[in-house]
Structure 1
Amino acid sequence: MNQIAQGADTFSPLRPREKSRAWQVGAVLVGTLILAVASRIEVPMIPVPMTMQTFAVTMIGALYGWRLGAVTVLAWLAQGALGLPVFAPSGAVGIARFFGPTGGYLLAFPLVAMLTGWLAERGWNGSRPLRAFASMLAGNALCLALGGAWLAVMIGAGPAFAAGVAPFILGGILKSALGAAALGGAQRFTR
Structure 2
Amino acid sequence: MSLAHAVRKPAFSPLNLDNRSVAMKLFAVISGTMILALTSQITVPMLPVPITLQTLVVPLIGALYGWRLGALTVLAWLGEAAMGMPVLAGGNGTLAAFAGPTAGYLFAFPVIAALTGYMAERGWNGSSLPKAFVTFLTANILALGLGAAWLSLTIGAEKALIVGVAPFIIGALIKSALGASILKASFRK
Give the shorter-chain TM-score range.
over 0.9
What is the CA-CA distance between 1:48 and the residue it aligns to?
A: 0.2
Q: How does 1:130-149 map to 2 (within 5 A)?
A: 130-149=130-149
Q: CA deviation digits over 1:105-157, x for unaligned, max 9?
A: 00110001011010001011111111111000000000000000000001000
Partner of 2:16: 15
Partner of 2:175: 175
Specify the SS of the correspondent of 2:120. Answer: helix
Specify the SS of the correspondent of 2:90. Answer: coil
Specify the SS of the correspondent of 1:125. Answer: coil
What is the CA-CA distance between 1:18 and the residue it aligns to?
A: 1.3
Partner of 1:80: 81
Partner of 1:162: 162
In structure 2, runs of 5+ residues without a counterpart are 1-7
CA contact (8 A) 2:39 2:57 kept: yes
Closer, same or farther: CA 76–93 of 1 in aligned 2, 3 Å: closer
What is the CA RMSD across the aligned residues, in angstroms? Answer: 1.4
TM-score (norm: length of structure 2): 0.93
Find out whether 1:66 has 2:52 as its counterpart: no
Partner of 1:98: 98
TM-score (norm: length of structure 1): 0.92
- Alignment-mate amino acid for residue 54 of structure 1: T
CA contact (8 A) 1:8 1:120 kept: no
Give the number of equivalent residue pairs: 182
Partner of 2:40: 39
Partner of 2:49: 48
What is the CA-CA distance between 1:12 and the residue it aligns to?
A: 2.2
- Alignment-mate amino acid for residue 148 of structure 2: G
Q: Distance in 1 between matches of 2:121 and 2:179?
A: 16
Identity %: 55
Q: Distance in 2 between matches of 1:9 and 1:108?
A: 23
In structure 1, runs of 5+ residues without a counterpart are 1-6
CA contact (8 A) 1:12 1:125 kept: no
Q: Distance in 2 between matches of 1:106 and 1:155?
A: 18
CA contact (8 A) 1:47 1:163 kept: yes
CA contact (8 A) 1:57 1:73 kept: yes
- Alignment-mate amino acid for residue 38 of structure 2: V
Specify the SS of the correspondent of 2:89. Answer: coil
What is the CA-CA distance between 1:175 and the residue it aligns to?
A: 0.2
